[in-house]
């Protein structure tokens, strides 16, 4: 199954995910579209609750009741992951061609088994390896993520390792099935900054060496700047701006992206006063009708409160803002 | 307002910490439980904080930042060393003295979700210290004072009648600050006050803290992971590693001319949110992890990760020595 170069590795189209909670329907994804090309790293940034995790959980089939995917599609190499007819394809893709790394490795590592047991289990189950093959390969994987003395490490339990070491093990497990796409949901948020730097460097190095695609979720614009080719900015269940990372950082178009960049203090710049964005993000149970950023936006126009804008600015840059629309029409 | 040198000679410090060590008993190990486990949380830490000054305290998880702050506030027992407030020794303050001191010294916590009692209305949360210390005579007076405090931190006047869950993270942190300010303290230990907040909200709280400082001449011990925020708010910065202060310097010296290898590695590890700039930055990798606090190495605590390590570093622990004016570092070779 070779995909034509035109078809992206992964594409989400107008994804709608709702959670039916006691307080009301939480509209976690309100028409999310993005794509990831071969060998590319896409960063998804946004504040807490903006819907970053839900979007990739939908890709991984990790939306459970009370959540439901109620619209849109997810295509891997051009084939739907949501089509009930393609179950076999989906099973092969999730966990094998797409692997996921979470913020807290303890949630995905089993505390009662050694990491050796856990990695070899994956290899035997998904790759059909014998015990010996799996063991050999597991050592190779640990070596790949710069864990030394792999034999010794394989015998350890997760709680015997530091947070950084566990995250390396998670990356090794993610690589076990030679995935085409790795989704990392805040892989370094819980780690100290020097350990974060080690893990980010490792991810960047593996991405290049193995030419895998990566979706990296983070709320740290610095991490995006260091690692990502493209960036998607999420706000209140939608992607408000997406494009080449250099371009988005150099000339952000959406007022929220602008605000986020201005609000992020920089190590290399001293300012008299930090800049904030007034107000707070909207409640996803009853988000504003038009642009969700409208109530906090200092560039808002009348149209903004009524309808969301979708503007294509060329170079694969998309912005959902009426200000951008006006400039583009001119 | 920021960046001023507040440690003018002759200015007597508001808070003085001298050779502070805090050890925790972490139980026993070994088959017969024969070996006592001691956590070396803070070891021989010294610094001053002057009136109106912010000292930033930075370091990785477990480096002893919170313990240092809590020791000053009398919330953990001091194993060795001395702590002075306004020239008076408070190292082993008893319950009553700690309570009395809490008028002058307050704590603002990291987690705006966990630090407020969910069953208490905002007005009661903020009024509590006023009533406990008898600053106000009755509920009416308390309500008036709370309204003033809420306005001071930029919360709506009706906020008092609501419960914490009705507020966003940034607003809850304002409530925490209003409560800390209730007794008109001179010194606040802010333990990661913005770490749990989103970027767009963070600045609101940092700006508020700076405004209150210039308004009331408050001093802060500002504990944080985020070096960019610390650069913004601090006058001087102390870098902690494994229980020790490895460098203590004026704000800009830390960033423009760091001396200690750990300071340099730490700064280099923080990515700058600007792709071309970040790509061009020279990165110093710092392999490995901090030492086990139960069993730290003798000599320099950073030796296992340091590119400049020599035998001297293994033999003896370096102490802070003067480098540039306004900059001290603890390293044998740098
Ligand atoms: N299982 C669930 N039940 C109910 N609501 C949910 C569930 N999972 C997510 N949500 C809601 O969906 C919205 C988006 O959540 P999501 O976890 O995707 O945010 P996020 O951008 O990943 O935030 P964070 O940065 O805090 O991880 C939030 O309002 C959240 O409360
Ligand atoms: N009450 C306690 N009993 C035993 N050990 C403790 C106690 N409090 C702290 N410690 C230990 O002391 C060391 C320093 O902890 P501290 O909380 O001061 O670090 P920190 O720098 O504030 O870290 P973080 O950034 O994670 O908040 C750690 O090893 C910690 O496990
Ligand atoms: S004292 Fe030695 S080991 Fe410690 S930081 Fe300096 S050079 Fe490195
Ligand atoms: Mg998330
Ligand atoms: Mg702490």
What's this model's pTM, rounded to 2 decimal places?
Answer: 0.92
Instruction: Please say if the pLDDT value at position A326 is more than 80.
Output: no
The mean pLDDT value for B57-75 works out to: 95
Query: A226-235: string of b/e by CB count within 10 Å (b at 16+)?
Result: bbbbbbbbbb
Q: Which residues of A touch B266 (CB under 8 A)?
A: 193-194
> Which of B168, B269, B290 is nearest residue A196 as measured by Cβ atoms?
B269
Q: Which residue of B has its CA nearest to A224?
A: B273
For tokens 């089993």, name the residue.
A110
Which pLDDT belongs to residue A13? 96
For tokens 């308004």, name the residue.
B215
Helix (H, G, I), strand (E, B) or coil at A327: helix
Name the A residues in 71-100 with CB < 8 Å from any B CB.
Answer: none
Instruction: Please say if the pLDDT value at position A3 is more than 90.
Output: no
Q: Could you tell me which CATH number the domain at B15-104+185-329 has?
A: 3.40.50.300
Instruction: Please say if the pLDDT value at position A257 is more than 50.
Output: yes
- Is the distance from CB of B192 to CB of B110 less than 8 angstroms? yes
Span of A218-227, B119-128, B284-293 with lowest mean pLDDT: B284-293
| Among the bound ligands, the one closest to the CA of B65 | 2
Q: Which residues of A touch B270 (CB under 8 A)?
A: 193, 222, 267
pLDDT tens readout for residues A60-118: 999 999 999 999 999 999 999 999 898 899 988 998 899 999 988 888 899 999 999 99
Which pLDDT belongs to residue B3? 43
The mean pLDDT value for A259-264 works out to: 95
Instruction: Please say if the pLDDT value at position A306 is more than 60.
Output: yes
Name the residue at shortest CA distance from atom 3 of ligand 3: B303
Please give, rounded to a whole number of angstroms, the shortest distance from the CA of B274 to a CA of chain A.
6
Can you tell me the distance from the alpha carbon of B128 to that of B123, in angstroms, rounded to the nearest whole number?
Answer: 8
Which pLDDT belongs to residue A313? 87
Name the residue at shortest CA distance from atom 5 of ligand 3: B331
Number of residues that this document lists for chain B:
334
Q: What is the dihedral of CA A312, A313, A319, A321, to 10 degrees?
A: -90
Name the B residues in 54-83 with CB < 8 Å from any A CB.
Answer: 60-61
The mean pLDDT value for B258-284 works out to: 95
Distances from the Cα of B247 to the Cαs of A3, A28, B162, B290, B308, in angstroms? Answer: 55, 45, 44, 16, 16
Instruction: Give the CA angle between residues B309, B313, B316 to the nearest 5°.
Output: 175
ipTM: 0.90
Instruction: Please say if the pLDDT value at position A125 is more than 60.
Output: yes
Instruction: Please say if the pLDDT value at position A293 is more than 80.
Output: yes
Can you tell me the distance from the alpha carbon of B294 to that of B36, in angstroms, rounded to the nearest whole number?
Answer: 10
Instruction: Please say if the pLDDT value at position B44 is more than 90.
Output: yes
Which pLDDT belongs to residue A10? 98
Instruction: Please say if the pLDDT value at position B2 is more than 60.
Output: no
What mean pLDDT value characterizes chain B? 91
Instruction: Please say if the pLDDT value at position A146 is more than 60.
Output: yes
What mean pLDDT value characterizes chain A? 92
pLDDT tens readout for residues B221-255: 999 988 999 999 999 999 999 999 999 999 999 99
Instruction: Please say if the pLDDT value at position A23 is more than 60.
Output: yes
The mean pLDDT value for A15-32 works out to: 96
Q: A193, A208, A258, A280: best mutation site toward chain B, by most B Cβ within 10 Å?
A: A193
Which pLDDT belongs to residue A325? 74
pLDDT grade for B33, boundaries at 50, 70 and 90: low
Span of A52-66, A171-185, A253-267, A271-285 with lowest mean pLDDT: A271-285
Residues 6+ apart with CB under 8 A from A117: none
pLDDT tens readout for residues B117-159: 999 999 999 999 999 999 998 889 999 999 999 998 988 888 9
C-beta atoms surrounding A136 within 10 Å:
14
Query: A251-264: string of b/e by CB count within 10 Å (b at 16+)?
Result: ebbbbbbbbbbbbb
């Amino acid at each position: 199954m070779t995909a034509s170069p035109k078809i992206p590795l992964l594409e989400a189209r107008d994804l709608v995910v709702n959670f039916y909670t006691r307080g009301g329907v939480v509209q976690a994804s309100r028409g999310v579209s993005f794509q990831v090309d071969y060998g590319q790293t896409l960063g998804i940034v946004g504040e807490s609750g903006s819907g970053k995790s839900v979007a990739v959980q939908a890709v991984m089939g990790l939306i459970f009741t009370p959540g439901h995917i109620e619209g849109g599609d997810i295509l891997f190499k051009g084939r739907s992951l949501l089509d009930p007819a393609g179950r076999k394809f989906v099973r092969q893709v999730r966990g094998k061609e797409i692997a996921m790394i979470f913020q807290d490795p303890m949630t995905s590592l089993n505390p009662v088994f050694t990491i050796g047991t856990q990695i070899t289990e994956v290899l035997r189950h998904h790759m059909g390896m014998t015990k010996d093959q799996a063991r050999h390969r597991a050592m190779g994987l640990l070596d790949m993520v710069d864990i030394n003395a792999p034999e010794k490490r394989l015998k350890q339990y997760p709680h015997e390792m530091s947070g950084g070491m566990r995250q390396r093990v998670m990356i090794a497990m993610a690589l076990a099935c030679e995935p085409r796409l790795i989704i990392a949901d805040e892989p370094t948020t819980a780690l100290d900054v020097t350990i974060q730097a080690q893990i980010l460097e490792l991810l960047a190095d593996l991405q290049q060496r193995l030419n895998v695609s990566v979706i990296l979720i983070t709320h740290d614009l610095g991490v995006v700047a260091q690692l990502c080719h493209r960036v998607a900015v999420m706000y209140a269940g939608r992607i408000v701006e997406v494009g080449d990372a250099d371009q988005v950082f150099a000339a952000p178009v959406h007022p929220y992206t602008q605000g986020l960049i201005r609000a992020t203090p920089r190590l290399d710049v001293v300012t008299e006063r930090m800049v904030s964005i007034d107000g707070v993000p909207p409640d996803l149970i009853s988000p504003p009708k038009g642009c969700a950023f409208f109530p906090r936006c200092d560039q808002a126009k009348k149209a903004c409160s009524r309808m969301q804008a979708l503007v294509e600015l060329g170079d694969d840059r998309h912005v959902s803002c009426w200000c951008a629309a006006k400039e583009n029409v001119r | 307002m920021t960046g001023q040198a507040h440690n003018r000679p002759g200015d007597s410090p508001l808070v003085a910490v001298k050779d502070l060590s805090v050890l925790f008993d972490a139980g026993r190990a070994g088959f017969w439980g024969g070996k006592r486990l001691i956590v070396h949380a803070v070891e021989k830490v010294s610094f001053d904080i002057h009136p109106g000054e912010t000292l930033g305290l930075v370091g990785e998880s477990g480096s002893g930042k919170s313990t240092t702050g809590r020791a000053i506030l009398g919330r953990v027992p001091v194993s060795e060393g001395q702590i002075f407030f306004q020239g008076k020794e408070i190292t082993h303050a008893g319950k009553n003295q700690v309570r009395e001191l809490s008028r002058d010294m307050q704590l603002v916590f990291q987690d705006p979700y966990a630090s407020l009692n969910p069953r208490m209305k905002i007005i009661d949360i903020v009024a509590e210290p006023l009533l406990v210390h008898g600053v106000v005579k009755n509920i009416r007076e308390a309500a008036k004072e709370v309204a003033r405090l809420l306005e001071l931190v930029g919360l709506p006047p009706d906020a008092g009648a609501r419960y914490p869950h009705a507020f966003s993270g940034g607003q809850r942190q304002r409530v925490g600050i209003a409560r800390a300010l209730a007794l008109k303290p001179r010194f606040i230990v802010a333990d990661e006050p913005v770490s749990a907040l989103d970027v767009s909200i963070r600045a609101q709280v940092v700006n508020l803290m700076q405004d209150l400082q210039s308004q009331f001449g408050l001093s802060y011990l500002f504990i944080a992971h985020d070096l960019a925020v610390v650069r913004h708010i601090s006058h001087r910065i102390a870098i902690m590693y494994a229980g020790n202060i490895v460098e203590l310097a004026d704000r800009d010296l830390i960033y423009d001319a760091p001396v200690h290898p750990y300071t340099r590695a730490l700064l280099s590890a923080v990515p700058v949110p600007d792709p071309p700039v970040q790509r061009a930055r020279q990165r110093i990798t710092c392999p490995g992890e901090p030492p086990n606090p139960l069993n730290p190495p003798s000599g320099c605590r950073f030796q296992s990760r340091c590119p400049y390590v020599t035998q001297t570093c293994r033999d003896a622990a370096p102490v802070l020595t003067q480098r540039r004016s306004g900059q001290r570092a603890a390293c044998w070779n740098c």
